[in-house]
Structure 1
Amino acid sequence: MTDLALRYDPALGAFDLVLDPVTGDLVTDDGLETAVTLSLFTDRRAQEGDALPGGAPAQYNGDRRGWWGDALTADAPLGSRLWLLSREKTLAETAARARTYAQEGLAWLRRAGIAERVDVVATAVPAESRIELDVVVTRPEGGARVEYRWRNLWEPQDAV
């Protein structure tokens, strides 16, 4: 599976398509990195009981976000609810929620047969006010493992 490559651009503070500096063409990847990136960093719609960043509960007309295409595929929403943690304190409970939200966002990789396993570890680093996220995707064919690390969830880094 091939897809357009997405990379985090610190200057933009967002993900963007990658252009080949020589040809100016769009760069592609094997699809897994882009799939993981979209699964984690696209904002999944908040559930009814989720508290939104800033303290407003989702049921009180707050912006619950989400991708418009989910209206067509409500049984398999895109993205994760990691965005809900953007204003949370760096606690073990926050890391546990980050792990749950990441697993939720990546679960489709197993259902689609793209991954045999998806392991997620989230670690709170209170001294530096950040959450670290490690994801290991084990491919079904031969069990190749692909690792992704983000030392700060809000400033993703390239895959390892």
Structure 2
Amino acid sequence: MADITISWDATNQRGDWTMSGPVLSTGNDLQTAILISIFSDRMAEADDVIPDGDDPRGWWADDDVPIGSRMWLLRRAKQTGETLQRAYDYLAEALQWLIDDGVVARFDISVQWARKSTLGASITAYSPTGTILSKGQYAWAWTGTN
């Protein structure tokens, strides 16, 4: 059985379910797994500085199977090289389970300031033979200081 397909809407910077007429589409499981992994809020680590209060977010079962990314911790961070490195690290952490489970062999991840107040990321997933399995461009609106 295939998963419900989530497609990335670059214009509106959000993921959404894909419809096939009146029915939810299925398939494209890897792309759906990537979107859930990078855009769901993973629980903060004990030593993370939470930017807006004390809610560590995350899924209630994160103790057993961490899901999502810690990108939300960067919401108010300055637009610096250090912030880009943390974004890269958080994305790599969020996608690692797909490598551990043998779904992909590796990812190429690049992050950059796409424009003022927008962090962009390019993520390419590869099979063990080097074939590209998935390639996507993603963006986060930034509320941090410049």
| Matching residue of 1:108 | 97
Deviation string for 1:111-139 (max 9, x for gaps)? 100001112111134x5122111111002
| Matching residue of 2:26 | 28
| Matching residue of 2:127 | 139
Do structure 1's residue 48 and structure 2's residue 40 form an aligned pair?
A: no
**AA paired with 2:6?**
L
- 1:134–1:143 CA distance, 2 compared to 1 (3 A): same
Does the aligned pair in 2 maintain the 1:5–1:17 contact within 8 Å?
yes
SS in 1 for 2:23: coil
More strand by share: 2
Deviation string for 1:75-119 (max 9, x for gaps)? x31111011111212111111000000000000111100001112
Do structure 1's residue 6 and structure 2's residue 6 form an aligned pair?
A: yes
Which of these residues, 28, 39, 55, is aligned with residue 63 of structure 1? 55
| Matching residue of 1:90 | 79
Q: TM-score, normalised by structure 1?
A: 0.77
Percent identity between the aligned chains?
33
Which of these residues, 129, 135, 140, is aligned with residue 153 of structure 1? 140
Do structure 1's residue 130 and structure 2's residue 121 form an aligned pair?
A: no
Query: What number of residue pairs does the alignment pair up?
Result: 141
Where do 4+ consecutive residues of structure 1 move more than 6 Å? 10-13
Once the 2 structures are TM-superposed, how far is the Cα of residue 13 of structure 1 from its aligned partner? 6.9
**AA paired with 1:53?**
P
Q: Distance in 1 between matches of 2:119 and 2:14?
A: 18
Deviation string for 1:56-76 (max 9, x for gaps)? 4xxxxx1100112324xx2x3
